[in-house]
Amino acid sequence: MQIRPTWGRAFGRLSRLQAIQASGSITSRRAVCKLGGSGGSGCIVHAGTCRGNCTVQPVATFRNPMRSDVAQVGSTKIAVVGTGAWGVVVASQMASQGRAVTLVARTRDEAALLSSTRQSPRVPGVALPDTLRVSANLQSVISEASIVVMVVPAQSMRLNFGLVSPHLLPGAVVVSATKGLEIATGLRMTEVIASFTGTDHPICAFSGPNLAAEIAAGKPASSVVACADDHVGQLVQAILTTPSWRIYRHHDVIGVELGGALKNVIALAIGIAEGLEAGENAKAALVTRGLAEMSRLGQALGGEALTFAGLAGLGDLVATCSSPLSRNRTFGLRLARGERLADLIETSGSVAEGVPTTRAALHVASRMGVELPITALLGEVIDGTLDPREAGARLLGRRAGRERVDDSARASLSPSG
C-alpha cells in the first residue's frame, strides 16, 4: 500500500517515517520535545517544526480495521454521543442519507421523548429522520459502532469519553465534532480522546463554518474532517457528506482543531465590539488580527499556517463572527451591554465555549511564549477586571508594528513549502 499524497504532506520533512505498512498496520510515533514535554500522534508535525528540539520515537502499532472500500459506508454503524443542537443535527444529516446512525441520549426519558416526538427542543421545527435511532443504552450502542462521533461540550469531553472508551470496538474510529480546549490542561479534544485510547483507534477532528440551524434547514455548507490517516479521512468524509453539505478532508489535525476552538474567542471579542457600536472597520480589524493570533498559536503548537486560511480557520471565523446565530458572538454582545458572566450563564443555561477556551488559550500561550493581545484583554473582560471600553482603548494604544507574513507562514505558502 502506497503512502497517499496528503498523508505525505502531513509528515513533510519526516518522509523517512514509513507510517503505513503494506499489511495495513499503522505505526504510531510520539514526539518527545524539550520545549513542551511529550504528545500523541498529532505531535508528528511539531517534530518537524521546532528547530531540532524534538525526537521522534515509535511507541506502538495497531491494525487499522477501516481499510474496507469507502463505498461501503451504508453498512457502517455510527454512534453519535451528544443530544445538543449540533449532535442532533449531525446525527440527522447522516441518517437522512441512509446511514445506520444511533443518537446516544443521556437518560431513558430523553431517549423516549426524542423517539416518540421525533423532535428535539434544541432544534425547533426540525423533524428527526424516521431512520435515526435514539437510545440511552450507551454500552450497547458503542459496542456495535465502527464510528463514534463525540459531540459534547469541551469541558465535559473527558468525563463523557471516559464512559464511552471501555465499550469501543477494537480499532473503531473516533470523531471529535467538539470545538474547544480543555481548560485544566489546554489539551485539544483529540488529545483528550487519545489519553484514553492511546494508539488503538484512529481519531479525526471535524470542524468548519457549521451553524447548526442552517445545516438543519438544508442550506448549503462546507466543513472539513482532519485525520492523519487519509484512508480513514476518506471514509468519514463520505459518511458525513450530503447533497447540501460538502465535506473536505485535511491532514492537519492540530490546525483544524485549533481553528475551530480559537475562533470562538475572537467571536466573543466581535460581539463586544458590536455591543459597543465600534463600527465595521473595528470589527474587520478584530477579525483580521484575531486570525493572526489564531495562526500564531496554532503554528507554535505544530499546526500549519495555511490551515488557518481554510474552512476551519477563516471560514469558521467569518461565520461565527458575522451571524446572529453564533452563541459566542451573542455572549460578547451581552457582556458589552453590562451583563455579568454569571447572569449570562444562568439565563442561557450554559456558557459559550469561547469563555473557557479563552482561559485555556492564555495558559497554553504563556507556556509556549506566544503573544495573544486580543485574547489577553478579553480574558480580563470575562473575569470582570476590565471594562470592555477600556479593553478597546488598550488595544488601540499598543505600539504599532509591521503587518508581515512570518517565516513559517511564508514557507507554507511557497511552492516547495
Angle at 269 between CA 359 and CA 298, to 5 degrees: 55
User: Which of 59, 24, 33, 49 lies closest to 252, judged by CA?
Assistant: 49
Same domain (yes/no): 365, 305: yes
Instruction: Name the more confident of 309 and 402.
Output: 309
Q: Which tops the pLDDT comparison, 146 or 59?
A: 146
Shared-domain flag, residues 219 and 345: no
On whether both 106 and 119 belong to a single domain, the answer is yes
Contact 172, 277 (CB under 8 A): no
pLDDT on residue 405: 53
> Is the model's pLDDT at 81 over the cut of 80?
yes
Predicted confidence at residue 396, as pLDDT, reads: 84
> How far apart (Å, rounded) are the C-alpha atoms in residues 125 and 85?
12
Q: Is the pLDDT higher at 343 or at 159?
A: 159
What single-letter DSSP state applies at residue 276? T
Give yes or no for residue 388 having a pLDDT over 50.
yes
Does 239 fall in a domain? yes
Q: Is residue 39 part of a domain?
A: no
Catalytic residue selected from 34, 77, 219, 263: 263
Task: Check which CATH number belongs to the domain holding 119 and give it.
Answer: 3.40.50.720
- What is the model's pLDDT at position 1? 35
Q: Rounded to an integer, what distance in angstroms lies between the CA atom of residue 165 and that of residue 63?
A: 18
Clarify whether residues 200 and 162 are in a common domain.
yes
Number of domains in the chain: 2
Residues 121 and 93 in one domain: yes
Residue 62: pLDDT band (50, 70, 90) is very low
**Pairwise pLDDT comparison (46 vs 321), residue with the higher score:** 321
Give CA–CA dist 356/261, Å, rounded.
10
263 assigned to active site: yes
166 in any annotated domain? yes
Q: Is residue 14 part of a domain?
A: no
Looking at residue 349, its pLDDT comes to: 65
Q: What's the domain range around 376?
A: 256-397
368: nearest Cα among 268, 224, 254, 267: 254
The answer to which of 4-13, 131-140, 285-294, 329-338 has the lowest mean pLDDT is 4-13
Beta strand extents in 54-202 (DSSP E only): 54-63, 77-81, 100-104, 133-135, 147-150, 173-176
Q: Do 213 and 285 fall into the same domain?
A: no
C-alpha cell at 200: 488503538
Last residue within a domain, chosen from 196, 228, 251: 251
Q: Same domain for 142 and 186?
A: yes
Q: State whether 321 and 215 are in the same domain.
A: no
The reply to whether 303 and 378 lie within a common domain is yes
Residue 52 domain flag: no
266 shares a domain with 155: no
pLDDT score of 270: 95
Question: Do 151 and 183 fall within a single domain?
Answer: yes
**What is the per-residue pLDDT for 111?**
97
Q: Is the pLDDT of residue 312 over 80?
A: yes
Considering only 73-77, 141-145, 359-363, 370-374, which range has the smallest mean pLDDT?
Answer: 73-77
Residue 276 CA to residue 35 CA, distance in Å, equals 40
Question: Could you tell me if 245 and 93 are in contact, meaning their C-beta atoms sit under 8 angstroms apart?
Answer: yes
Mean pLDDT (the chain, rounded)? 82
Sign of CA dihedral 183, 318, 250, 104: positive
CATH of the domain at 354: 1.10.1040.10
Boundary residue ending a domain (236, 251, 266): 251
Is residue 120 in a domain? yes
The 8-class DSSP code of residue 180 comes to: -
User: What's the pLDDT score for residue 153?
Assistant: 94
Residue 366 within any structural domain of the chain:
yes
User: Do residues 222 and 304 share a domain?
Assistant: no
CA atoms within 13 A on the CB side of 231: 16
Residues 6+ apart with CB under 8 A from 289: 374
Could you report the per-residue pLDDT of 185-236, keeping only the tens digit for each? 999 999 999 999 998 899 999 999 999 999 999 999 999 999 999 999 999 9
pLDDT exceeds cutoff 70 at 367: yes
- Boundary of a domain, candidates 199, 216, 251: 251
- Inside any domain, residue 45: no
